[in-house]
Structures are given as structure tokens and as C-alpha cells.
Amino acid sequence: MSKQIRADARLERTRRGLETSRRAIHPTAVRRTRLVGVLGLVAVISSVASVASPREIAASAQQLDLHARSVDLRSGKLENLAFDDKGRLRLAQIEGKYLPTGIYLSAPLDIRQDGSFSVRWLDQWTAPQRYRKHPGNPIWGPRQTGKWDNWTNGVAIVRNPDNKTYKMYYAGRKGGGIGFAEASIDNPLVWKEHSSSPVLKPLKDGWEGNQINQPRVVKVSETHWRMYYSGWGYAPEAANHWTFGLAESYDAGVTWQRTRTEPLMERGPSGSYDDGAVAVPEVRRVGSRWMMWYTALKNLPGRQAIHLCLASSEDGIRWEKYEKNPVLTDDFTTGPARNVISRCHVEYEDGLFRMWYTHGKPDYRIRYAESLDGAEFERSPLPLALDVSPPGAWDDRMVEYPTIDRVGDQWRMWFCGNGFGSVGYAEGIVETSLKLYYRSSPTDAVDAHWSEWQALARGARSEAYRFVQLKAEFRSENPDLSPALNSVTLTPSSSKP
């Protein structure tokens, strides 16, 4: 890994204001605040590791600006807010419950001259942490698909190049293969199977074992797509030798060809965290590198112990396992013999990794977690993002395998039900929000010269006088939840407008 990525990572940690001095709470009256610049703070790197850490990969993906300056959140005025044990600004609590609203008001910030500026911020826990199911579920399954499919397992949703339609990939049972259907983004409930399905048939021998499923599709470009799929063949030394392979498409996901007959990743040595199986990868491009969260089976006599591990790659083909795996696990020595943390969906945006994952202990449910580096995940305080339906429903015993797409303010989830098959639909219940505003003035005195408050768009240029004041509004409709503000950076323009 290059020295530049290491340097960028060090710069990013400084820019985000994650310094240890933020652990104490010192709210003060509104006063003029110095912006802490990051110029000249990049240290000389004397030694460089050969493999980038998750934090370095995430940091290098950010668009760094050497003129960006961290806003000291502790020098502002807090109303119904407090810092948590991670140094984040959140709604204050009374008897363990969050207050519904809170406001942060910065001191006047000197941007040196009249002109323009931009603001970026790192926030958490503003995505839905609960989902409401569509009453007409299941919306798709073997009744609608071709004769090749009697399962409709492990769906993956991808937007087509026109950004008006979706492709949904899914798998049949043994011998069936993988096919896809399409739908309008304006109507995510009505699907039609493509006539070319199945587009990938299993190989009868070897690690595929005449059964492939869990297609996970990611774009390299608008027309070059990759499908990571799992095989369920048998090996003499293990009851289930799960692993995964790769197929590629150069026509936006219609036709597919394997890149090789061998799997992309092998199990770890005996006694390791993934000595039983490696399968069901979730792959995302983060900056110039690729990250993968995969399902790993740890061999424990008399127990089914499955958890999530991490790997990274420069090309999405050759992978390096994370040295601190697993990244999402459980205590497998107690509780039910079947304990499975598996098949996740990850979205990376604005410095934050959001993960929806399947947890069976012993029965499958869908849960939610967040991370700043893709390796250290913090689980939602809510026990479930999606629960089973009442008795008699198609998903009354299990819900699993979420895939997510966001359309404006609407968060969409597709998932599977009983027997790991058929497809249901749900939409997120938005219960928290964090919005930033600004106003400006020719002077730093808080008087009538200040402009009206205007909403900020992350990273967008805003016109201002020399002095700027920021306001963050925190809201929650659920007393168990609060948005969190980790850091704010402000970048003045280099010249007058």
C-alpha cells in the first residue's frame, strides 16, 4: 500500500477531529472560535505496511481538501445535547430515554474573507433502524418465475444503466442456477423474469456441486458487472465445503461468464475463524480499493458457529483477509447450538458503513449496525430491523438476506422468508434526523447583521460574508434512538466569488 494512502489516513483522522481531548464535556457560551487547520499536520511516514487497514481504505476514499478545517464542537452552545462515550454529539437522555429535539450552535467562524465555503460532516444513526412490511408479501417467488426455479433464494438488487429500472438476481435449488427479473424503480413491487434466465448454470462437479446460489452483483462500470456466487459442493474432509466464485458480464448483467473454475477464496487453517467455510460475499468498491464482508463457518463440535469476516483487494479478484477477523461475531460457547451471523448488505456513503445482516439464534431475523471503517461495527440499540410475521404467514418463522436501495428519502428492503426463499418487500421507518444550517455576517458580533438561516447541502458551495455560524438540529421520534454527530469540517474558498 502506498505512502500516500497512509498519509491520507493520518490527515483524515486529524480532519475529522477525533482527538482524545473531545472525551470531556465542556460546553461554553457562544464566542468566536478558531478553526483548527490541518495544513502541515501530515507526519513523515517511515514505515509502510504491505496491506492497507480498513480505516486506511475508508479514509483514502474521502475527498480530502488541505484547506479543510475542523470545527471544535465543544466550543459551541448545546441545547438538550451531550457527548457520548465515543466523543459524539447526541441528544441528551433523561432516565435512559433520549429527548426528542436538540440544537448545536457554533461560535462565529472566521473564513478570512467574504466568499464561499463548503461544509462536510460525519453523522450516524440517521438511517431507518426498523422496517415496515408490504401487506401484499411475498411480491416474487416460484409462482412467478420459470420452471427452472422452485426456490427464489438470496436476492440481489442492482440498478440498470438507465437508472429507471432494476435487475433482481436470485437462485433456484440444486441444478437450477441463477436468473434475474426486472422492474421499474417507480414500482418496486411488480417484476418480470428475463427470458434468458437462468443466466448461470451450476457445474456438477467440484466445489459448485451442482448447486449455486446467493448471487451478489456489483458494478465495475455501467456495463461491466461482477457476480460473486456461492457453491455448495462437497469435499471429503468436510460435510459442507462452502466457498464462492466469480462471473462477469459486459452487457449490464444479461449474459455471464465465469472467470475461472476455481473458487476465489479458500478456507482458513484448522482452528481459525473460517476453517469450515467461506461464502456469501458482499463486495463494495470503497475509493480505489474493494472491500468484502463474507460469511465464515468456524468448526466447533456439536455447534453451528457462523459469523462475518472482512477481506480487501486492489482488483476485486485477489483478496487479503483482515488480520483481526471476525468483524461481527457472537459468543458461540453458550446459547443455542445454531448461531448464525450471515449474508449482509453494506452501503458506504459519506464516510459511514451501514450494514443490514442476518442473525439466526437459532431462527433468522434481520438486524442493523454501523461502522466508520468497515471493521469495527456498532450494533443498533434496537434488537431487530425486521421481525417475522404472525403465525400462518409465508415468513412467520424466519426473515433473512436483506438487500437495500435508497430512492430519495425512501429506504427499500427486499428479503427472503421461510425456507430461505421467495421475496418480500419493506420500507424503512425514518425516526431520526440531523440537519445542518448556516448564517453569515460581516462581523463576529451576534447582532442584526446576521443573515437568515439557510440549509446546508453536504460538500456544496454556499455564499457567505467573512463570519459564518453553523447550527445542527437533532430530532428523534423514538426515545430509544438518537442521531450522532461525529465531526464537522469547513472549507473556505481560495478566492472571492
* In the chain, where the domains are located: 3-127+432-492, 131-428
- Cα 248 to Cα 283: distance, rounded to the nearest angstrom: 14
- pLDDT > 90? residue 38: no
pLDDT interval class at 131 (50, 70, 90): very high
Please write the tens of the pLDDT for every residue from 44-58. Answer: 222 233 467 888 888
- Cα 33 to Cα 82: distance, rounded to the nearest angstrom: 19
Are the C-beta atoms of residues 135 and 143 closer than 8 Å to each other?
no
Q: Which amino acid is at 118?
A: S
| Grid cell in block for residue 293 | 464482508
| Grid cell in block for residue 65 | 481538501
- pLDDT > 50? residue 134: yes
Locate all alpha helices (DSSP H) within 20-100, ordered by sequence.
Answer: 54-60
Are the C-beta atoms of residues 384 and 404 closer than 8 Å to each other?
no
| Grid cell in block for residue 212 | 449455486
CATH of domain 131-428: 2.115.10.20
Please write the tens of the pLDDT for every residue from 141-192. Answer: 999 999 999 999 999 999 999 999 999 999 999 999 999 999 999 999 999 9
Q: How many other C-beta atoms are found inside a 10 Å radius of the C-beta of residue 384? A: 16
What's the sign of the alpha-carbon dihedral 75, 79, 82, 87?
negative
- Cα 369 to Cα 384: distance, rounded to the nearest angstrom: 10
- pLDDT > 80? residue 461: yes
Which of 65-74, 112-121, 310-319 has the largest mean confidence? 310-319
Contacts for 472 with CB less than 8 Å, ≥ 6 apart: 89, 103, 104, 121, 434, 435, 436, 437, 485, 488
At residue 30, the pLDDT reads 34
pLDDT interval class at 63 (50, 70, 90): low
Output the pTM of the full model: 0.88
Are the C-beta atoms of residues 464 and 117 closer than 8 Å to each other?
yes
